[in-house]
Chain A
Amino acid sequence: MITLDAVVKRYPDGHEALRGITLDIEDGEMVFFTGRSGAGKSTLLRLMAGIDRPTGGTLMINHQEISRLGSTALARLRCNIGLVFQDHKLLFDRSVEENTALPLQIVGLYGKELQRRVSVALEKVGLGAQAKASPVTLSGGELQSLCIARAIVNRPSLVIADEPTGHLDPEYANTILDIFHSFHRAGVTVVIATHDASTISPVSGRIVQLEDGRLGGDSESEASEFAT
Protein backbone atom coordinates (compact mmCIF):
# COMPACT_ATOMS: atom_id res chain seq x y z
CA MET A 1 0.00 0.00 0.00
CA ILE A 2 2.73 2.48 1.03
CA THR A 3 6.26 2.17 -0.32
CA LEU A 4 9.06 4.52 0.64
CA ASP A 5 12.35 4.24 -1.20
CA ALA A 6 15.21 6.44 0.09
CA VAL A 7 12.74 9.22 0.90
CA VAL A 8 14.32 12.55 1.78
CA LYS A 9 12.56 15.68 3.00
CA ARG A 10 14.61 18.85 3.04
CA TYR A 11 12.96 22.17 3.98
CA PRO A 12 13.79 25.45 2.22
CA ASP A 13 15.90 26.54 5.22
CA GLY A 14 18.15 23.54 4.57
CA HIS A 15 16.93 21.43 7.50
CA GLU A 16 16.77 17.76 6.52
CA ALA A 17 13.86 16.18 8.40
CA LEU A 18 14.04 12.79 6.68
CA ARG A 19 17.30 11.24 5.44
CA GLY A 20 16.67 8.33 3.15
CA ILE A 21 13.77 6.35 4.62
CA THR A 22 13.10 3.00 2.97
CA LEU A 23 10.03 1.16 4.17
CA ASP A 24 6.99 -0.86 3.05
CA ILE A 25 3.63 -0.81 4.77
CA GLU A 26 1.22 -3.53 3.63
CA ASP A 27 -2.56 -3.31 3.42
CA GLY A 28 -4.21 -3.89 6.80
CA GLU A 29 -1.08 -3.31 8.85
CA MET A 30 -1.01 -1.31 12.07
CA VAL A 31 2.23 0.63 12.32
CA PHE A 32 3.48 2.83 15.12
CA PHE A 33 6.21 5.38 14.36
CA THR A 34 8.04 6.26 17.54
CA GLY A 35 10.89 8.54 18.34
CA ARG A 36 11.73 11.73 20.14
CA SER A 37 10.38 15.10 19.12
CA GLY A 38 12.12 16.22 15.92
CA ALA A 39 12.88 12.65 14.83
CA GLY A 40 10.81 13.16 11.66
CA LYS A 41 7.58 11.34 12.58
CA SER A 42 5.19 14.16 11.72
CA THR A 43 7.09 14.96 8.52
CA LEU A 44 6.85 11.33 7.45
CA LEU A 45 3.13 11.25 8.18
CA ARG A 46 2.55 14.46 6.25
CA LEU A 47 4.26 12.88 3.24
CA MET A 48 2.20 9.69 3.57
CA ALA A 49 -0.95 11.79 3.81
CA GLY A 50 -0.13 13.66 0.60
CA ILE A 51 0.05 17.00 2.41
CA ASP A 52 3.72 17.50 1.52
CA ARG A 53 5.92 16.04 -1.19
CA PRO A 54 9.33 14.43 -0.68
CA THR A 55 12.38 16.31 -1.97
CA GLY A 56 14.21 13.08 -2.73
CA GLY A 57 13.49 9.38 -3.20
CA THR A 58 10.19 7.79 -4.11
CA LEU A 59 6.97 7.56 -2.13
CA MET A 60 4.19 5.40 -3.56
CA ILE A 61 0.70 5.26 -2.11
CA ASN A 62 -1.70 2.79 -3.72
CA HIS A 63 0.73 2.54 -6.68
CA GLN A 64 0.68 6.29 -7.21
CA GLU A 65 3.93 8.21 -6.92
CA ILE A 66 3.24 11.27 -4.78
CA SER A 67 5.81 13.51 -6.50
CA ARG A 68 4.11 13.05 -9.85
CA LEU A 69 0.61 13.99 -8.66
CA GLY A 70 -0.82 17.44 -9.24
CA SER A 71 -2.53 19.38 -6.47
CA THR A 72 -6.03 18.20 -7.47
CA ALA A 73 -4.93 14.55 -7.62
CA LEU A 74 -3.25 14.95 -4.23
CA ALA A 75 -6.47 16.40 -2.80
CA ARG A 76 -8.42 13.41 -4.17
CA LEU A 77 -5.84 11.10 -2.62
CA ARG A 78 -6.31 12.79 0.76
CA CYS A 79 -10.07 12.22 0.48
CA ASN A 80 -9.34 8.49 0.73
CA ILE A 81 -7.08 8.86 3.75
CA GLY A 82 -8.42 9.43 7.25
CA LEU A 83 -6.29 12.00 9.03
CA VAL A 84 -6.16 12.54 12.78
CA PHE A 85 -4.19 15.49 14.07
CA GLN A 86 -2.78 16.12 17.50
CA ASP A 87 -4.26 19.63 17.46
CA HIS A 88 -7.54 18.24 16.09
CA LYS A 89 -7.98 20.76 13.25
CA LEU A 90 -11.68 21.11 13.99
CA LEU A 91 -14.03 23.97 13.13
CA PHE A 92 -15.34 25.36 16.39
CA ASP A 93 -18.12 27.40 14.80
CA ARG A 94 -19.77 24.21 13.58
CA SER A 95 -21.48 21.41 15.46
CA VAL A 96 -20.00 17.96 16.10
CA GLU A 97 -22.00 16.42 13.26
CA GLU A 98 -21.16 19.26 10.85
CA ASN A 99 -17.46 18.73 11.54
CA THR A 100 -17.86 15.02 10.97
CA ALA A 101 -19.75 15.59 7.73
CA LEU A 102 -17.04 17.77 6.15
CA PRO A 103 -15.15 15.00 4.28
CA LEU A 104 -18.43 13.68 2.89
CA GLN A 105 -19.48 17.13 1.67
CA ILE A 106 -16.12 17.48 -0.05
CA VAL A 107 -16.72 14.29 -2.07
CA GLY A 108 -20.26 15.43 -2.87
CA LEU A 109 -22.30 13.20 -0.57
CA TYR A 110 -25.47 14.69 0.88
CA GLY A 111 -28.91 13.95 2.28
CA LYS A 112 -29.88 10.82 4.20
CA GLU A 113 -26.77 8.85 3.26
CA LEU A 114 -24.59 11.63 4.68
CA GLN A 115 -26.64 11.72 7.87
CA ARG A 116 -26.46 7.95 8.22
CA ARG A 117 -22.69 7.81 7.78
CA VAL A 118 -22.15 10.68 10.22
CA SER A 119 -24.32 8.93 12.83
CA VAL A 120 -22.43 5.65 12.37
CA ALA A 121 -19.04 7.36 12.69
CA LEU A 122 -20.07 9.28 15.82
CA GLU A 123 -21.52 6.12 17.40
CA LYS A 124 -18.24 4.28 16.75
CA VAL A 125 -16.28 6.84 18.74
CA GLY A 126 -18.93 7.26 21.43
CA LEU A 127 -20.14 10.74 20.47
CA GLY A 128 -23.57 9.78 19.17
CA ALA A 129 -25.35 11.69 21.92
CA GLN A 130 -23.38 14.88 21.30
CA ALA A 131 -24.02 15.19 17.57
CA LYS A 132 -25.68 18.58 17.86
CA ALA A 133 -23.24 19.93 20.45
CA SER A 134 -20.55 22.47 19.77
CA PRO A 135 -16.96 21.16 19.90
CA VAL A 136 -16.30 23.90 22.47
CA THR A 137 -18.26 21.84 25.02
CA LEU A 138 -16.18 18.68 24.49
CA SER A 139 -13.24 17.47 26.60
CA GLY A 140 -9.76 16.90 25.11
CA GLY A 141 -10.42 13.18 24.68
CA GLU A 142 -13.81 13.81 23.10
CA LEU A 143 -12.26 16.29 20.68
CA GLN A 144 -9.79 13.60 19.64
CA SER A 145 -12.70 11.17 19.25
CA LEU A 146 -14.47 13.71 17.06
CA CYS A 147 -11.32 14.05 14.97
CA ILE A 148 -11.27 10.25 14.56
CA ALA A 149 -14.96 10.22 13.60
CA ARG A 150 -14.22 12.78 10.88
CA ALA A 151 -11.26 10.67 9.71
CA ILE A 152 -13.28 7.46 9.30
CA VAL A 153 -16.61 8.86 8.10
CA ASN A 154 -15.51 8.53 4.47
CA ARG A 155 -14.59 4.83 5.04
CA PRO A 156 -10.90 5.23 4.18
CA SER A 157 -8.63 2.24 3.67
CA LEU A 158 -5.80 4.13 5.40
CA VAL A 159 -5.95 6.09 8.65
CA ILE A 160 -2.99 8.25 9.65
CA ALA A 161 -2.84 9.71 13.15
CA ASP A 162 -0.21 12.12 14.42
CA GLU A 163 0.20 11.91 18.22
CA PRO A 164 -3.48 11.06 18.76
CA THR A 165 -2.94 10.44 22.49
CA GLY A 166 -0.51 13.30 23.00
CA HIS A 167 -2.58 15.41 25.38
CA LEU A 168 -4.73 12.69 26.89
CA ASP A 169 -4.67 11.00 30.28
CA PRO A 170 -3.64 7.30 30.16
CA GLU A 171 -7.20 6.03 30.52
CA TYR A 172 -8.56 8.06 27.58
CA ALA A 173 -5.38 7.34 25.60
CA ASN A 174 -6.16 3.61 25.88
CA THR A 175 -9.73 4.25 24.76
CA ILE A 176 -8.47 6.09 21.68
CA LEU A 177 -5.96 3.31 20.92
CA ASP A 178 -8.75 0.76 21.28
CA ILE A 179 -10.71 2.63 18.64
CA PHE A 180 -7.72 2.45 16.27
CA HIS A 181 -7.34 -1.28 17.04
CA SER A 182 -10.97 -1.84 16.12
CA PHE A 183 -10.33 -0.20 12.72
CA HIS A 184 -7.27 -2.37 12.27
CA ARG A 185 -9.28 -5.49 13.01
CA ALA A 186 -11.81 -4.32 10.40
CA GLY A 187 -9.00 -4.37 7.80
CA VAL A 188 -8.08 -0.69 7.75
CA THR A 189 -4.38 0.18 7.51
CA VAL A 190 -3.53 2.33 10.54
CA VAL A 191 -0.38 4.44 10.83
CA ILE A 192 0.20 6.24 14.12
CA ALA A 193 3.03 8.51 15.19
CA THR A 194 3.71 8.77 18.92
CA HIS A 195 6.59 9.84 21.10
CA ASP A 196 5.04 8.01 24.04
CA ALA A 197 6.26 4.42 23.70
CA SER A 198 4.55 3.48 26.95
CA THR A 199 1.15 3.53 25.26
CA ILE A 200 2.14 0.77 22.83
CA SER A 201 3.44 -2.75 23.11
CA PRO A 202 4.87 -5.13 20.48
CA VAL A 203 1.56 -6.96 20.34
CA SER A 204 -0.20 -3.71 19.46
CA GLY A 205 1.32 -3.69 15.98
CA ARG A 206 4.50 -3.02 14.07
CA ILE A 207 6.77 -0.49 15.75
CA VAL A 208 9.13 1.62 13.63
CA GLN A 209 11.72 3.71 15.44
CA LEU A 210 12.82 7.02 13.90
CA GLU A 211 16.03 8.71 15.00
CA ASP A 212 17.08 12.05 13.60
CA GLY A 213 15.33 11.49 10.27
CA ARG A 214 16.59 7.92 9.84
CA LEU A 215 15.11 4.51 10.55
CA GLY A 216 16.38 3.41 13.97
CA GLY A 217 14.57 0.12 14.26
CA ASP A 218 11.68 -1.88 12.88
CA SER A 219 9.98 -4.56 14.98
CA GLU A 220 8.97 -6.41 11.83
CA SER A 221 12.52 -6.76 10.46
CA GLU A 222 13.83 -7.58 13.92
CA ALA A 223 11.23 -10.35 14.24
CA SER A 224 12.14 -11.78 10.86
CA GLU A 225 15.85 -11.67 11.78
CA PHE A 226 15.04 -13.49 15.03
CA ALA A 227 13.06 -16.13 13.09
CA THR A 228 15.99 -16.87 10.80
Chain B
Amino acid sequence: MRAWIHQHGSALRLALRQLGRHPFANLLAILVIAFALGLPAGLYRLVNTASALSHNSLHEPRLTLFMAADADASAVRAVWDALASYREVREFRYISNTDALAELKANPALTDAVNALNRNPLPHTFVVRARDPSPAGLESLRLKIASWNKVERVQMDGEWAKRLAALLEFVRHSTNGLAATLAIALIFIVFNTVRQQVLAAREEIEVTHLIGATSRYIRRPFLYFGLIQGLLGATIAILLLLLGTTLFNKEVLPLSALFGLDLHLPLPAVAECALLGLVAVVLSWGAAFLSVFLTLKRIR
Protein backbone atom coordinates (compact mmCIF):
# COMPACT_ATOMS: atom_id res chain seq x y z
CA MET B 1 0.00 0.00 0.00
CA ARG B 2 2.82 2.42 0.90
CA ALA B 3 4.56 1.53 -2.36
CA TRP B 4 1.33 2.30 -4.25
CA ILE B 5 0.98 5.66 -2.50
CA HIS B 6 4.65 6.39 -3.19
CA GLN B 7 4.19 5.59 -6.89
CA HIS B 8 1.23 7.97 -7.08
CA GLY B 9 3.26 10.60 -5.22
CA SER B 10 6.08 10.22 -7.75
CA ALA B 11 3.63 10.51 -10.65
CA LEU B 12 2.15 13.64 -9.07
CA ARG B 13 5.61 15.20 -8.60
CA LEU B 14 6.46 14.36 -12.21
CA ALA B 15 3.22 15.98 -13.39
CA LEU B 16 3.96 19.13 -11.37
CA ARG B 17 7.48 19.20 -12.80
CA GLN B 18 6.01 18.98 -16.32
CA LEU B 19 3.65 21.81 -15.45
CA GLY B 20 6.56 23.95 -14.29
CA ARG B 21 8.61 23.31 -17.42
CA HIS B 22 6.42 25.55 -19.58
CA PRO B 23 4.74 27.82 -17.02
CA PHE B 24 3.47 30.46 -19.45
CA ALA B 25 1.91 28.04 -21.94
CA ASN B 26 0.37 25.99 -19.13
CA LEU B 27 -0.95 29.10 -17.38
CA LEU B 28 -2.64 30.18 -20.60
CA ALA B 29 -4.23 26.74 -21.00
CA ILE B 30 -5.41 26.83 -17.37
CA LEU B 31 -6.90 30.32 -17.86
CA VAL B 32 -8.79 29.15 -20.95
CA ILE B 33 -10.10 26.18 -18.93
CA ALA B 34 -11.12 28.59 -16.16
CA PHE B 35 -13.11 30.72 -18.60
CA ALA B 36 -14.60 27.61 -20.21
CA LEU B 37 -15.87 26.55 -16.78
CA GLY B 38 -16.61 29.96 -15.28
CA LEU B 39 -18.52 31.60 -18.14
CA PRO B 40 -21.39 29.09 -18.40
CA ALA B 41 -21.45 28.72 -14.61
CA GLY B 42 -21.85 32.49 -14.26
CA LEU B 43 -24.55 32.61 -16.93
CA TYR B 44 -26.48 29.78 -15.26
CA ARG B 45 -26.40 31.69 -11.98
CA LEU B 46 -27.70 34.84 -13.67
CA VAL B 47 -30.48 32.97 -15.48
CA ASN B 48 -31.52 31.17 -12.30
CA THR B 49 -31.65 34.43 -10.38
CA ALA B 50 -33.69 36.08 -13.17
CA SER B 51 -36.08 33.11 -13.24
CA ALA B 52 -36.59 33.26 -9.48
CA LEU B 53 -37.15 36.99 -9.71
CA SER B 54 -39.71 36.62 -12.48
CA HIS B 55 -41.61 34.10 -10.40
CA ASN B 56 -41.46 36.13 -7.22
CA SER B 57 -41.61 39.80 -6.50
CA LEU B 58 -41.05 41.55 -9.80
CA HIS B 59 -43.82 40.58 -12.14
CA GLU B 60 -45.68 37.80 -10.46
CA PRO B 61 -48.47 36.95 -12.91
CA ARG B 62 -51.96 37.54 -11.69
CA LEU B 63 -55.56 37.42 -12.92
CA THR B 64 -58.04 40.27 -12.65
CA LEU B 65 -61.62 39.10 -12.26
CA PHE B 66 -64.37 41.59 -13.17
CA MET B 67 -67.87 40.86 -11.91
CA ALA B 68 -70.94 41.58 -14.01
CA ALA B 69 -72.48 45.06 -13.55
CA ASP B 70 -75.63 43.56 -12.01
CA ALA B 71 -73.72 41.35 -9.57
CA ASP B 72 -75.10 41.90 -6.07
CA ALA B 73 -73.50 41.29 -2.69
CA SER B 74 -74.54 37.63 -2.60
CA ALA B 75 -72.91 36.98 -5.99
CA VAL B 76 -69.72 38.68 -4.78
CA ARG B 77 -69.85 36.60 -1.60
CA ALA B 78 -70.20 33.40 -3.65
CA VAL B 79 -67.14 34.25 -5.76
CA TRP B 80 -65.19 35.21 -2.59
CA ASP B 81 -66.02 31.83 -1.01
CA ALA B 82 -65.15 29.96 -4.18
CA LEU B 83 -61.77 31.68 -4.47
CA ALA B 84 -61.04 31.09 -0.77
CA SER B 85 -61.69 27.38 -1.12
CA TYR B 86 -59.90 26.95 -4.45
CA ARG B 87 -56.57 25.12 -4.10
CA GLU B 88 -55.08 26.63 -7.23
CA VAL B 89 -55.49 30.17 -5.84
CA ARG B 90 -52.63 31.31 -3.65
CA GLU B 91 -54.15 34.60 -2.54
CA PHE B 92 -56.67 37.15 -3.71
CA ARG B 93 -57.69 40.71 -2.99
CA TYR B 94 -61.20 42.14 -3.32
CA ILE B 95 -61.78 45.69 -4.58
CA SER B 96 -65.43 46.76 -4.34
CA ASN B 97 -66.85 49.09 -6.97
CA THR B 98 -67.30 51.76 -4.23
CA ASP B 99 -63.62 51.54 -3.24
CA ALA B 100 -62.56 51.68 -6.89
CA LEU B 101 -64.65 54.78 -7.45
CA ALA B 102 -63.27 56.43 -4.31
CA GLU B 103 -59.79 55.72 -5.59
CA LEU B 104 -60.64 57.41 -8.86
CA LYS B 105 -62.11 60.39 -7.03
CA ALA B 106 -58.91 60.70 -5.03
CA ASN B 107 -57.13 61.54 -8.25
CA PRO B 108 -57.56 65.31 -8.62
CA ALA B 109 -57.40 65.07 -12.39
CA LEU B 110 -60.39 62.74 -12.49
CA THR B 111 -62.54 64.17 -9.68
CA ASP B 112 -64.78 66.30 -11.89
CA ALA B 113 -65.33 63.56 -14.43
CA VAL B 114 -66.24 61.02 -11.74
CA ASN B 115 -68.62 63.47 -10.03
CA ALA B 116 -70.41 63.96 -13.34
CA LEU B 117 -71.42 60.28 -13.42
CA ASN B 118 -74.97 59.56 -12.32
CA ARG B 119 -74.14 55.99 -11.31
CA ASN B 120 -71.10 53.91 -10.45
CA PRO B 121 -70.00 52.24 -13.70
CA LEU B 122 -67.19 50.25 -12.14
CA PRO B 123 -67.55 46.51 -11.46
CA HIS B 124 -66.61 44.63 -8.32
CA THR B 125 -63.10 43.27 -8.88
CA PHE B 126 -60.88 40.50 -7.51
CA VAL B 127 -57.10 40.40 -8.07
CA VAL B 128 -56.03 36.75 -7.94
CA ARG B 129 -52.53 35.27 -7.60
CA ALA B 130 -52.21 31.67 -8.74
CA ARG B 131 -50.28 28.94 -6.97
CA ASP B 132 -48.76 27.93 -10.32
CA PRO B 133 -47.56 31.19 -11.89
CA SER B 134 -46.52 29.62 -15.20
CA PRO B 135 -48.40 30.81 -18.30
CA ALA B 136 -50.04 27.40 -18.65
CA GLY B 137 -51.11 27.38 -14.98
CA LEU B 138 -52.58 30.87 -15.26
CA GLU B 139 -54.48 30.06 -18.42
CA SER B 140 -55.98 26.97 -16.83
CA LEU B 141 -57.12 28.95 -13.78
CA ARG B 142 -58.48 31.75 -15.99
CA LEU B 143 -60.67 29.37 -17.98
CA LYS B 144 -62.13 27.87 -14.79
CA ILE B 145 -62.90 31.18 -13.11
CA ALA B 146 -64.38 32.67 -16.29
CA SER B 147 -67.18 30.08 -16.19
CA TRP B 148 -68.41 31.09 -12.73
CA ASN B 149 -71.78 32.79 -12.23
CA LYS B 150 -71.85 36.59 -12.58
CA VAL B 151 -68.20 36.70 -13.66
CA GLU B 152 -68.08 39.06 -16.61
CA ARG B 153 -64.46 38.79 -17.63
CA VAL B 154 -61.15 37.38 -16.36
CA GLN B 155 -58.13 39.18 -17.66
CA MET B 156 -54.80 37.44 -17.58
CA ASP B 157 -51.91 39.78 -17.13
CA GLY B 158 -49.75 37.16 -18.78
CA GLU B 159 -48.39 38.28 -22.11
CA TRP B 160 -45.34 39.76 -20.47
CA ALA B 161 -44.98 36.53 -18.44
CA LYS B 162 -44.99 34.46 -21.59
CA ARG B 163 -42.40 36.73 -23.16
CA LEU B 164 -40.17 36.74 -20.10
CA ALA B 165 -40.44 32.98 -19.73
CA ALA B 166 -39.64 32.52 -23.42
CA LEU B 167 -36.69 34.89 -23.15
CA LEU B 168 -35.32 33.10 -20.08
CA GLU B 169 -35.84 29.76 -21.76
CA PHE B 170 -33.95 31.02 -24.81
CA VAL B 171 -31.11 32.28 -22.61
CA ARG B 172 -31.09 28.95 -20.76
CA HIS B 173 -30.90 26.99 -24.02
CA SER B 174 -28.18 29.31 -25.31
CA THR B 175 -26.26 28.78 -22.08
CA ASN B 176 -26.64 25.01 -22.49
CA GLY B 177 -25.21 25.30 -26.00
CA LEU B 178 -22.42 27.56 -24.80
CA ALA B 179 -21.62 25.19 -21.92
CA ALA B 180 -21.47 22.22 -24.31
CA THR B 181 -19.24 24.15 -26.72
CA LEU B 182 -16.92 25.28 -23.95
CA ALA B 183 -16.82 21.75 -22.49
CA ILE B 184 -15.64 20.50 -25.88
CA ALA B 185 -13.08 23.32 -25.92
CA LEU B 186 -11.88 22.27 -22.46
CA ILE B 187 -11.56 18.65 -23.57
CA PHE B 188 -9.65 19.76 -26.64
CA ILE B 189 -7.26 21.95 -24.63
CA VAL B 190 -6.47 19.24 -22.09
CA PHE B 191 -6.24 16.61 -24.85
CA ASN B 192 -3.80 18.73 -26.81
CA THR B 193 -1.55 19.78 -23.92
CA VAL B 194 -1.37 16.21 -22.61
CA ARG B 195 -0.62 14.98 -26.13
CA GLN B 196 2.27 17.43 -26.37
CA GLN B 197 3.56 16.22 -23.01
CA VAL B 198 3.36 12.60 -24.13
CA LEU B 199 5.18 13.34 -27.38
CA ALA B 200 7.85 15.32 -25.54
CA ALA B 201 8.37 12.38 -23.17
CA ARG B 202 8.47 9.86 -26.02
CA GLU B 203 12.02 8.73 -25.24
CA GLU B 204 11.31 8.33 -21.55
CA ILE B 205 8.16 6.36 -22.31
CA GLU B 206 10.08 4.03 -24.59
CA VAL B 207 12.78 3.43 -21.98
CA THR B 208 10.40 2.83 -19.07
CA HIS B 209 8.30 0.55 -21.27
CA LEU B 210 11.37 -1.51 -22.19
CA ILE B 211 12.50 -1.94 -18.60
CA GLY B 212 9.13 -3.15 -17.38
CA ALA B 213 6.75 -0.24 -16.82
CA THR B 214 3.09 -1.16 -17.28
CA SER B 215 0.82 1.06 -19.40
CA ARG B 216 -0.85 2.18 -16.19
CA TYR B 217 2.49 3.31 -14.76
CA ILE B 218 3.33 5.19 -17.96
CA ARG B 219 -0.09 6.85 -18.16
CA ARG B 220 -0.23 7.98 -14.53
CA PRO B 221 1.85 11.23 -14.64
CA PHE B 222 -0.02 12.42 -17.73
CA LEU B 223 -3.39 11.75 -16.12
CA TYR B 224 -2.28 13.73 -13.08
CA PHE B 225 -1.10 16.48 -15.42
CA GLY B 226 -4.55 16.75 -17.03
CA LEU B 227 -6.25 16.50 -13.64
CA ILE B 228 -4.12 19.30 -12.16
CA GLN B 229 -4.87 21.52 -15.15
CA GLY B 230 -8.60 20.92 -14.71
CA LEU B 231 -8.52 21.51 -10.95
CA LEU B 232 -6.47 24.69 -11.26
CA GLY B 233 -8.87 25.84 -13.99
CA ALA B 234 -11.84 25.12 -11.69
CA THR B 235 -10.18 26.99 -8.80
CA ILE B 236 -9.62 30.06 -10.96
CA ALA B 237 -13.18 29.74 -12.33
CA ILE B 238 -14.55 29.80 -8.76
CA LEU B 239 -12.43 32.84 -7.95
CA LEU B 240 -13.75 34.53 -11.10
CA LEU B 241 -17.32 33.71 -10.06
CA LEU B 242 -16.73 35.19 -6.61
CA LEU B 243 -15.19 38.30 -8.13
CA GLY B 244 -17.92 38.57 -10.78
CA THR B 245 -20.69 38.18 -8.18
CA THR B 246 -19.16 40.82 -5.94
CA LEU B 247 -18.75 43.27 -8.82
CA PHE B 248 -22.29 42.55 -10.09
CA ASN B 249 -23.79 43.20 -6.68
CA LYS B 250 -21.75 46.37 -6.24
CA GLU B 251 -22.69 47.82 -9.62
CA VAL B 252 -26.21 46.52 -10.26
CA LEU B 253 -27.77 46.52 -6.77
CA PRO B 254 -28.01 50.33 -6.42
CA LEU B 255 -29.41 50.53 -9.95
CA SER B 256 -32.01 47.82 -9.37
CA ALA B 257 -33.09 49.48 -6.11
CA LEU B 258 -34.20 52.51 -8.14
CA PHE B 259 -36.77 50.22 -9.85
CA GLY B 260 -37.80 48.62 -6.60
CA LEU B 261 -36.10 45.36 -7.47
CA ASP B 262 -33.79 43.14 -5.48
CA LEU B 263 -31.28 41.82 -7.99
CA HIS B 264 -28.89 40.55 -5.33
CA LEU B 265 -26.80 37.63 -6.63
CA PRO B 266 -25.76 35.26 -3.82
CA LEU B 267 -22.13 34.13 -3.61
CA PRO B 268 -21.50 30.63 -5.05
CA ALA B 269 -22.45 27.97 -2.51
CA VAL B 270 -20.02 25.20 -1.49
CA ALA B 271 -22.15 22.69 -3.40
CA GLU B 272 -21.91 24.82 -6.57
CA CYS B 273 -18.12 25.05 -6.23
CA ALA B 274 -17.88 21.31 -5.60
CA LEU B 275 -20.02 20.64 -8.70
CA LEU B 276 -17.77 22.89 -10.79
CA GLY B 277 -14.71 21.03 -9.45
CA LEU B 278 -16.34 17.69 -10.21
CA VAL B 279 -17.15 18.73 -13.78
CA ALA B 280 -13.55 19.92 -14.22
CA VAL B 281 -12.16 16.65 -12.83
CA VAL B 282 -14.36 14.44 -15.00
CA LEU B 283 -13.73 16.41 -18.21
CA SER B 284 -9.98 16.94 -17.73
CA TRP B 285 -9.28 13.39 -16.54
CA GLY B 286 -11.35 11.95 -19.40
CA ALA B 287 -9.60 14.14 -21.96
CA ALA B 288 -6.17 13.28 -20.52
CA PHE B 289 -6.96 9.56 -20.54
CA LEU B 290 -8.16 9.67 -24.14
CA SER B 291 -5.12 11.68 -25.18
CA VAL B 292 -2.58 9.40 -23.47
CA PHE B 293 -4.31 6.28 -24.74
CA LEU B 294 -4.43 7.42 -28.37
CA THR B 295 -0.97 9.02 -28.40
CA LEU B 296 0.72 6.00 -26.80
CA LYS B 297 -1.06 3.74 -29.26
CA ARG B 298 0.29 5.84 -32.11
CA ILE B 299 3.82 5.93 -30.68
CA ARG B 300 3.93 2.15 -30.31
Interface residues of A (CB under 8 A from B): 49, 51, 71-72, 75-81, 83, 85, 89-91, 102-103, 105-110, 150
A60 → B minimal CB distance (Å): 19
Do residues A78 and B207 form an inter-chain contact, with CB atoms below 8 A?
no
B4 proximal to A (CB < 8 A): yes
- Our pick among B7, B10, B206, B213 for the contact of A75 (Cβ within 8 Å) is B213
B144 proximal to A (CB < 8 A): no
Q: Scan B184-228; emit 1 where CB is below 8 A from any A CB, else 0.
A: 000000000000000000011011111111111100000000000
Instruction: Tell me the complex Cα distance, A56–B191, Å.
Output: 39
26 interchain pairs (CB within 8 A)? A49-B210, A71-B215, A72-B214, A75-B209, A75-B212, A75-B213, A75-B215, A76-B214, A78-B210, A78-B211, A78-B212, A79-B211, A81-B212, A83-B210, A89-B206, A89-B210, A89-B211, A91-B203, A106-B208, A106-B211, A106-B212, A106-B213, A107-B3, A108-B3, A108-B6, A108-B7
Instruction: Tell me the complex Cα distance, A106–B220, Å.
Output: 12
What residue of chain B has the Cβ atom nearest to residue A111's Cβ?
Answer: B6
Instruction: Tell me the complex Cα distance, A77–B209, Å.
Output: 12
In the A-B complex, the 9 residue pairs with the smallest Cβ-Cβ separation, listed nearest first, are: A108-B3, A79-B212, A78-B212, A75-B214, A110-B6, A89-B207, A106-B213, A72-B214, A103-B211
The size of the chain B interface, using a CB distance under 8 A, is: 19
Interface residues of B (CB under 8 A from A): 3-4, 6-7, 10, 203-204, 206-217
Residues of A with C-beta under 8 A to B216:
72
| Given A72-B216, A75-B213, 15 more pairs with CB closer than 8 A | A49-B210, A71-B214, A75-B215, A78-B212, A81-B212, A90-B207, A91-B204, A106-B208, A106-B213, A106-B217, A107-B212, A108-B4, A108-B7, A110-B6, A150-B211
- Our pick among B4, B10, B215 for the contact of A72 (Cβ within 8 Å) is B215
Do residues A110 and B214 form an inter-chain contact, with CB atoms below 8 A?
no
What residue of chain A has the Cβ atom nearest to residue B214's Cβ?
Answer: A75
Chain A-chain B contacts (Cβ-Cβ < 8 Å), number? 57
Residues of B with C-beta under 8 A to A81:
212
Residues of A with C-beta under 8 A to B211:
78-79, 83, 89, 102-103, 106, 150
Residues of A with C-beta under 8 A to B212:
75-81, 103, 106-107
Do residues A102 and B6 form an inter-chain contact, with CB atoms below 8 A?
no
What residue of chain A has the Cβ atom nearest to residue B7's Cβ?
Answer: A108
Question: Knowing A91-B203, A108-B4, A109-B3 touch, does A102 contact B214 (C-beta < 8 A)?
Answer: no
Count chain A CB atoms within 10 A of each CB in B3, B10, B209, B214 and give the residue with the most.
B214
Residues of B with C-beta under 8 A to A109:
3
Residues of B with C-beta under 8 A to A71:
214-215
Question: Knowing A72-B214, A75-B212, A78-B212 touch, does A102 contact B207 (C-beta < 8 A)?
Answer: yes
A170 → B minimal CB distance (Å): 28
- Our pick among A51, A77, A80 for the contact of B210 (Cβ within 8 Å) is A51
Residues of B with C-beta under 8 A to A51:
210
Instruction: Tell me the complex Cα distance, A105–B8, Å.
Output: 11
B7 → A minimal CB distance (Å): 5
- Our pick among B6, B10, B207, B209 for the contact of A91 (Cβ within 8 Å) is B207
A20 → B minimal CB distance (Å): 27
A91 → B minimal CB distance (Å): 6
Residues of B with C-beta under 8 A to A103:
211-212
A146 → B minimal CB distance (Å): 12
B5 → A minimal CB distance (Å): 9
